[in-house]
């Protein structure tokens, strides 16, 4: 069927481009490692939360952050493609906007997950050693988080026309998503306004599930986390596919 073939073609292209740009792979790992080394180990030796050393506590948060950044910033490649005119050649092909969106989405998720796996491996040698089942569950949840955030990044990329605008909008979105997600602090005993903010933030549920999987400390039951992520994913995917329709034909 041409939906799958179209989406597969787009994904294949993304993947080939990704593996040929080594910088792209490495650059995604640098800031999480700095966070981990500085924040985690810096505070970890003297601070612990809910009985867990702080470095162990934020490792799931940093992992989620890696996926968050890789996924959201993936949307910027739409703008590069557009600048290079490459995108036009794809847009004029007789494939549906949903196939196009799906191909891009899976491309972005694949890239983010490569980063996540690499960080899990590096983490293992730095002393973060979850159970195998925990690691697999965490990767599954991270995949779902990546679907949400890649779709959001693609939506922003399709709506904006300059890389500068994209950077701006993404920064405005990405920092509150990250900071108010419980990636850096536990969700218990927060002031009520902050507690509300975190509960409205879809990423909170992602971080919670990843932390539950890796170190067994979750604030919500897993099914609530997954349900919240699924609802958010459905909403952004829907909006994203619509935005790709405008890409395919300018008004």
Partner 1 sequence: MPIISTSKLTKRYGQLAAVSNLTLSIEEGEIFGLLGPNGAGKTTTLSMLATLRSPTSGSAKVNGYDISKQRNEVRQSIGMVFQGTSTDDLLTARENLEIHAMLYSVPSDIRKKRIDELLALVELTDRANDLVKHFSGGMKQRLQIVRGLLHHPRVLFLDEPTLGLDPQTRAHVWKYIERVAKEEKITVILTTHYMEEAESLCNRIAIIDHGKIAVLDTPTNLKKKVGSDMVKFVSNNADAKKIKSLKFVRKIEQKGDSYLIKLDEVSKNLASLLKSAGNVSSVEVRPVNLSDVFIHYTGHEMRDEEEGGGWQGWER
Contacts with partner 1, residue ranges (CB under 8 A): 2, 5-6, 8-10, 12-13, 16-17, 20-21, 84-95, 248-251
Task: Give kind and range of the element (H or E) at residue 195.
Answer: helix 192-200
Q: Which is nearer to partner 1, 41 or 86 (CB)?
A: 86
Contact 117, 27 (CB under 8 A): no
Q: Quote the least distance from Cβ 8 to partner 1, whole Å.
A: 7
Instruction: Report the C-alpha gap between 117 and 139 in whole angstroms.
Output: 8
Q: Which is nearer to partner 1, 10 or 116 (CB)?
A: 10
Q: Which is nearer to partner 1, 90 or 155 (CB)?
A: 90
Instruction: Report the C-alpha gap between 203 and 188 in whole angstroms.
Output: 16
Q: Which is nearer to partner 1, 24 or 159 (CB)?
A: 24
Q: Quote the least distance from Cβ 193 to partner 1, whole Å.
A: 45
Q: Quote the least distance from Cβ 94 to partner 1, whole Å.
A: 4
Integer-rounded Cα Rg, in Å, for the chain is: 18
Q: Quote the least distance from Cβ 96 to partner 1, whole Å.
A: 8
Instruction: Report the C-alpha gap between 69 and 189 in whole angstroms.
Output: 28
Task: Give kind and range of the element (H or E) at residue 245.
Answer: helix 222-248
């Amino acid at each position: 069927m041409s939906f799958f073939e179209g989406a597969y073609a787009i994904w294949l292209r993304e993947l080939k481009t990704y593996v040929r740009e080594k910088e792209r792979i490495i650059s995604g790992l640098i800031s999480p490692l700095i966070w981990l080394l500085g924040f985690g180990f810096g505070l970890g030796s003297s601070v612990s939360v809910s009985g867990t050393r702080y470095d162990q506590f934020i490792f799931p948060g940093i992992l989620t952050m890696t996926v968050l950044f890789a996924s959201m910033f993936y949307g910027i490649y739409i703008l590069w493609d557009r600048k290079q005119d490459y995108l036009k050649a794809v847009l004029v092909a007789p494939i549906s906007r949903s196939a196009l969106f799906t191909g891009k989405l899976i491309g972005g998720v694949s890239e983010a997950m490569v980063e996540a796996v690499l960080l899990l491996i590096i983490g293992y040698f730095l002393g973060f050693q979850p159970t195998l089942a925990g690691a697999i569950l965490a990767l599954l949840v991270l995949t779902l988080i990546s679907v949400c955030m890649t779709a959001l990044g693609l939506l922003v990329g399709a709506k904006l026309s300059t890389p500068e605008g994209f950077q701006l909008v993404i920064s405005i979105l990405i920092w509150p998503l990250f900071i108010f997600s419980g990636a850096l602090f536990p969700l218990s005993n927060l002031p009520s306004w902050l507690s509300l903010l975190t509960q409205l933030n879809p990423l909170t549920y992602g971080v919670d599930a990843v932390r539950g999987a890796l170190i067994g400390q979750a604030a919500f039951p897993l099914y609530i986390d997954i349900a919240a992520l699924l609802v958010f994913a459905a909403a952004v995917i829907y909006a994203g596919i619509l935005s790709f329709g405008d890409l395919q034909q300018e008004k």
